Structure 1
């Protein structure tokens, strides 16, 4: 039997964490639980990893994730001294982008419970490619000489993006994401293989990048965070292949939103800053779109001056956009600004100000604001109303959320309804609070049945 060789790369990272062996094993166990596959690794198991034992691939990935979260930087399996898995799509230089899309889509159109559980773990170890890493990247795409596309096919994909967005906003990512995944496999992938003039090919690549972005957004809403990250990375790569800088920045901002939603403030700020720095356009709308997310990311890290500066920049940009077009465009509006203001205020400790800004958001909401966001932000408003001692107001706000909850299929909305149960548990002696608490519990039981 060959003698095991100590994993010096893993040991170096371990020493950098300043963990004990017990803490190392506990962090990996924590990620196993987060992934939905609880384990009970001991300090002896951690010692074995350092001394050359190679655990199964899923555990190797969780070890790397635990280290990356502790050290605050992206790491790869190779960085930790682990072998690269054979057949890794992300490690195939010159791989066929269409094959990658088809593999990704087919795996999750009718995902088994095992697939879904594995897709739920957000990874801070994810290597997000910069613009120079993807711009003009040449993919080996096996073309179909018997098929051709033109502007009509590009227009049809863009129209479908609009429809998928509407379905997602009205009913949630759990409802819409399988449709988007199937659309990528059945329609977009064949279009990418078809013959086309160069300008049509690039337009289709850009449209495909946006489909990946919205599919990733839907997966994030489901709670399938690793899957969302995979779609986002594919969106970045497709935008680069299309030489579409704007779409690249749009997707990168989406990665920041995902990190912020999960409480990873440093990563949210880093991705928001990268998106803003890479943005080729200085239109008022684009400045507002980027600066609002930067403000939220900065506030999460306690960078008050930067957060307030970015928020002021967002306000100025919105004013410019409204004065030049008569209305906000592209999905960023005064209601979105009010939401970002609420988030900044909350992260900086101004809970009452956050409540006021969320109320401003609901006063300013327009027809294009999604039904799902109304439920999510309503849940946040109720939680913060309770936090400042307004129990009756919180229950009234939650009641409005619960009225619309049965028709919504969204992991993020599910989380907000679960918080009703948690937040109101200490107040069940109050009749209104008890009624709202029990109603939320009953609706959650119906959803899980």
Structure 2
């Protein structure tokens, strides 16, 4: 026997709407969501009140109806229509902008209020196929528009906060300020998507929100929350398309490519990076292009294609030579010598070329040291330590590993911890050597603290 939905009944009573009027509004809203097959009547509303669970996307449409009526955000969770904390809807690249607004708002709400359940959401290995295809097709079909920056107060405020949170991520690690950013987005930014009135404002706000949503995804990725990260990245890609900013969409695809490769799917990582490069035909960002070639090289190395990986590294370096920071967007600030050389070091590490890996690792370490970037420094020290191990030089690997541990202890980043564990794994062939034992003992406290 079904349990009556008291939450939905309470909201309906508070609204003053009849069951027939609610059904009519749901039909109207369903048309806006491009779901004409959803056409409930009074009987169906009675069934919902009696405890019947409507199928997706009806809970989101009902939430939208009540939100519009009351003038503030009401979620399916509030209406007793499911938690939605697994964020499966956020894996969908929806053609409807209205549906996208609801999905990203619900995702932010779940991240803040029901984070434990959302954290259990799995990473879907092939979920990026459809979104990257749809983004690319829509991006290539868009007509070029005049370059015009909208400097509205609310959009400017969002972008100013992006700068703050991006620096927090770069210098302290993704786990440091992620929940604070999620709270800010859920309470202050995502609601703005429902309040814009002109096309100019809407596009500008979508661009700023896409940047922040990407950063949320990236910080979750760096913190080891891969299911959450994937959902934010897909919705960021959709918002980037809505803004018409092809370079931003390509940047999001770079993040998706990085994650796919890290999680053991380099073929998917390569395809996502290639989609991003194709989309850049509509925009100019040498920094983003350098990043996409760099990430394609990482994927190719894991696929064992040495010549193609070396070619991709060369293309990345060529693009980097054309970068002019003052002409690049704020989100590209991290794509510099410290980052690119660090990733190239990982590429050559995976190719089994310790000499090239060491060369790039040292350049990255030097640049990261000048900037005080502990996370990047730690990861590049890890690449250098592995290069030493590939030459069977345990003493040099140990000394480098200690510097890595020191830097890792200064940030909150699961990627740094994974780099430590990778070095530990690669030291195992040296058996019970005293340096291995000492390194493992020191690493244990760093990993435990993380």
Query: Normalising to structure 2: TM-score of the pair?
Result: 0.69
Matches within 5 A, 1:78-89: 88=89
Q: Is the 8 A contact 1:425 1:437 kept in 2?
A: no
Q: Is the 8 A contact 2:176 2:412 kept in 1?
A: yes
Q: Is the 8 A contact 1:386 1:394 kept in 2?
A: yes
Q: Is the 8 A contact 1:161 1:211 kept in 2?
A: yes
Deviations 1:387-420 (A, max 9, x none): 3212111111121122233342211122123334
Deviation at residue 361 of structure 1 after TM alignment: 1.9
In structure 2, the partner of 1:437 is: 440
Matches within 5 A, 1:248-327: 248-279=249-280, 280-321=282-323
Query: Matched residues in 1 for 2:429 and 2:350: separation?
Result: 24
Query: Matched residues in 1 for 2:87 and 2:287: separation?
Result: 44
Matched, 1:344 2:347: yes
Q: 1:308 to 1:380 in 2, by over 3 A?
A: closer
In structure 2, the partner of 1:64 is: none
Deviation at residue 294 of structure 1 after TM alignment: 2.5
In structure 2, the partner of 1:392 is: 395
Q: 1:195 to 1:111 in 2, by over 3 A?
A: closer
Query: Matched residues in 1 for 2:237 and 2:325: separation?
Result: 32
In structure 2, the partner of 1:379 is: 382
Q: Is the 8 A contact 1:170 1:370 kept in 2?
A: yes
Deviations 1:45-93 (A, max 9, x none): xxxxxxxxxxxxxxxxxxxxxxxxxxxxxxxxxxxxxxxx999463876
Query: Matched residues in 2 for 1:272 and 1:323: separation?
Result: 22
2:120 partner SS: helix
In structure 1, the partner of 2:170 is: 169
1:409 partner SS: coil
In structure 2, the partner of 1:131 is: 135
Query: Matched residues in 2 for 1:323 and 1:183: separation?
Result: 28
Query: Matched residues in 1 for 2:162 and 2:260: separation?
Result: 24
Query: Matched residues in 2 for 1:100 and 1:202: separation?
Result: 18
Query: Matched residues in 2 for 1:410 and 1:402: separation?
Result: 12
Matches within 5 A, 1:186-265: 186-265=187-266
Q: Is the 8 A contact 1:213 1:235 kept in 2?
A: yes
Query: Matched residues in 2 for 1:247 and 1:186: separation?
Result: 24
Q: Is the 8 A contact 2:139 2:241 kept in 1?
A: yes
Q: How many equivalent residue pairs?
A: 350
Q: Which moved more, 1:305-314 or 1:238-247?
A: 305-314
Q: 1:321 to 1:131 in 2, by over 3 A?
A: same
Query: Matched residues in 1 for 2:285 and 2:449: separation?
Result: 47
Query: Matched residues in 1 for 2:278 and 2:139: separation?
Result: 15
Q: Alignment RMSD, CA only?
A: 3.3
Deviation at residue 429 of structure 1 after TM alignment: 4.3
Deviation at residue 112 of structure 1 after TM alignment: 4.9
In structure 1, the partner of 2:71 is: none
Query: Matched residues in 2 for 1:101 and 1:392: separation?
Result: 50
Q: Is the 8 A contact 1:136 1:243 kept in 2?
A: no
Structure 1 residue ranges without an equivalent (≥5): 1-84, 138-148
Q: Is the 8 A contact 2:247 2:284 kept in 1?
A: no
Q: 1:353 aligns with which of 352, 356, 364?
A: 356
Q: Is the 8 A contact 1:343 1:354 kept in 2?
A: yes
In structure 1, the partner of 2:76 is: none
Q: 1:91 to 1:312 in 2, by over 3 A?
A: closer
Query: Normalising to structure 1: TM-score of the pair?
Result: 0.69
Deviation at residue 339 of structure 1 after TM alignment: 2.5
Matches within 5 A, 1:8-87: none
In structure 2, the partner of 1:96 is: 99
Structure 2 residue ranges without an equivalent (≥5): 1-85, 142-149
Deviation at residue 240 of structure 1 after TM alignment: 1.3
Query: Matched residues in 2 for 1:96 and 1:189: separation?
Result: 13
Query: Matched residues in 2 for 1:385 and 1:250: separation?
Result: 33
Query: Matched residues in 2 for 1:331 and 1:402: separation?
Result: 22
Deviation at residue 160 of structure 1 after TM alignment: 0.7
1:267 partner SS: helix
Query: Matched residues in 2 for 1:178 and 1:86: separation?
Result: 17
Query: Matched residues in 2 for 1:224 and 1:263: separation?
Result: 15
1:157 partner SS: helix
Query: Matched residues in 1 for 2:199 and 2:408: separation?
Result: 46
